[in-house]
Amino acid sequence: MGKTIEIRVGTFDNNFSIDCPTLHDNLISFGKMPILYVTMVYHVFASRSRMASKSDDITLVMGRTFTDHDLHHIPDMNVDRIYMDYNATTPLEPEVVQAVSDALRDAWGNPSSNYVAGATAKSIISQSRQSVARMVGGKSEDIVFTSGGTEANNLVLHTALEHFKKSCRAAEQSEGPTNGCPGLPHIVTTNVEHDSIKLTAEHFLADGKADVTFVPVSKVTARVDVEDIIAAIRPNTCLISVMLANNETGVIMPVQEICQRVDLLNKQPERLRILLHTDAAQALGKISVEVQELGVDYLTIVGHKFYGPRIGALYVNGPGRRTPLYPMLFGGGQERNFRPGIKLYLEERLQDVFRDRIRFNSHYPGSDVLPNTCNVSILGPALQGWRVLSTCRRLLASVGAACHSASGNRASHILLNCGVPSEVAANAVRLSVGRETARADVDAVVEDLRETVQLLEKTN
């Protein structure tokens, strides 16, 4: 414990790396959570050597067939696949596999039980909580483990509604600010959030439970403008939720600036407190994430995006004391980097091969982007992203957010909202490199794409 890990991708020499003193411990500690998800079994197998070569062999490994899975790729078992979908999920670090197995074997007790097996589980959870807190610069008691990012995001939106209700009740009894009451709670978010925010907010809206403003991101920078967020605030606004980095474009949002501005508003005595949330699922492990610096009340953490298992956590700044947190579930009583060199090399190689036929949907003037995310369209009438991916022999990637893969032949609303023209968005492919991506992988993927484009243009 306390080791420093150099987060690097492949063996490319001209590299850039981040010494991340806490990530290593954190993902291992995440692994020590004595919670078993079926999907973890997939990751344990898939990560044994290289996820690329194992992921399509899963039927062989597990001796079963996934008949209901809409495969985008030709199931040629003799081909060595190259994984460039690290924004969808990451393979488990071998040390995590070890820690998970150890915990499953030795810490199987219910952490609330008053005997040794329970105490062992409790102690491991407590260590895990400390490590995850260190990773984001919070305190141990600020970390609430969840089943994943989706639950963490839902918990924040649910809490915002409860916070509004309780604040209004207190106001009726003249105990608090009356601003915004009576009325519906109002939530401000963007039009490029993950579905676990978007669909939940849309559901609240449709059910008449809340008003929601989906502030559009700039079609030039793909970032949300701080002034647009501030302009959307109403007297009944109870939550602002803006993701830290977008899962499709990799664009980093001005969360710190938003928090600073809202902090000033929150100091007005008659104002209903506006809660501040950021979904950092894609940012953690790729850029520095520090809750105090950002100034957020809540921050979503997703283990499987940084080589940990499928488990999530929500950072809450003083849960139940400084920041409200209301449960959604009742009964159980439990729980409360990289080398941008590789991404740049990938973009250079794509540009060399496809020249003026290529559009990068992750390049926006004035916006910083995650160091691993390359969203690209190869222009042409027969080159829709889903078609390209299903014809590629080696590349494993997505057309966008992994949870949209079922609607694969529709252009991503995120890209459309970022100003990407529909015929370009329809051809988009999200290539997200990771720790195991090497320069040779990039060369092979670019060649794969070149052959694919040739084939599709000949046959269509």
Ligand X SMILES: Cc1ncc(COP(=O)(O)O)c(C=O)c1O
How far is the C-alpha of 390 from the C-alpha of 409, rounded, in Å?
11
Residue choice 279, 436, 441, 448 for contact with ligand X (CB under 6 A): 279
Q: Least distance in Å: CB of 246 to ligand X?
A: 7
Residue choice 136, 243, 392, 416 for contact with ligand X (CB under 6 A): 243
Which is closer to ligand X, CB of 23 or CB of 401?
A: 401
Q: How far is CA 300 from CA 62, 137, 172, 371, in A?
A: 32, 13, 33, 20
Whether 168 is catalytic = no
How far is the C-alpha of 175 from the C-alpha of 387, rounded, in Å?
60
Q: How far is CA 442 from CA 81, 173, 305, 456, in A?
A: 12, 64, 21, 21
Residue 90 binds to ligand X (criterion: CB under 6 A)? no
Q: Least distance in Å: CB of 321 to ligand X?
A: 26
Residue 231 binds to ligand X (criterion: CB under 6 A)? no
Q: Which DSSP state fits 359?
A: E
Residue 372 binds to ligand X (criterion: CB under 6 A)? no
Q: Least distance in Å: CB of 196 to ligand X?
A: 5
Catalytic-role residue among 20, 374, 403, 418 = 403
3-state SS assignment for residue 275: strand
Using the rule CB under 6 A, give the single segment among 49-57, 96-104, 277-285, 451-459 that binds ligand X.
Answer: 277-285
Which is closer to ligand X, CB of 81 or CB of 194?
A: 194
Kindly write out the interface string for residues 112-151 of this chain, putting x where it contacts ligand X by CB under 6 A and - elsewhere.
------------------------------------xxx-
CA atoms in the 13 A half-sphere facing the CB of 179: 17
Q: Which residues contact 394 (CB under 8 A, 6 or more apart)?
A: 79, 80, 81, 82, 444, 445, 448
Which is closer to ligand X, CB of 192 or CB of 426?
A: 192
Q: Least distance in Å: CB of 223 to ligand X?
A: 15
Site for ligand X in 283-302 (CB under 6 A): 302
How far is the C-alpha of 307 from the C-alpha of 224, rounded, in Å?
29
Residue 247 binds to ligand X (criterion: CB under 6 A)? yes
- Reference 383, options 459, 457, 458, 442; nearest CA is 457
Which is closer to ligand X, CB of 150 or CB of 427?
A: 150
Which is closer to ligand X, CB of 25 or CB of 279?
A: 279
Q: Which DSSP state fits 435?
A: T
Residue 85 binds to ligand X (criterion: CB under 6 A)? no
How far is the C-alpha of 21 from the C-alpha of 135, rounded, in Å?
8
How far is the C-alpha of 96 from the C-alpha of 138, rounded, in Å?
22
Is the Cβ–Cβ distance between 132 and 25 less than 8 Å? no
Q: Least distance in Å: CB of 74 to ligand X?
A: 25
Residue choice 55, 190, 282, 432 for contact with ligand X (CB under 6 A): 282
Which is closer to ligand X, CB of 148 or CB of 324?
A: 148
Residue 340 binds to ligand X (criterion: CB under 6 A)? no
Range list of H helices, 183-285: 195-206, 226-232, 255-266
Residue choice 312, 371, 400, 434 for contact with ligand X (CB under 6 A): 312
Q: Which residues contact 200 (CB under 8 A, 6 or more apart)?
A: 153, 154, 157
Catalytic residue numbers read 403
Note the residues at the interface with ligand X (CB under 6 A): 148-150, 153, 194, 196, 243, 247, 279, 281-282, 302, 312, 402
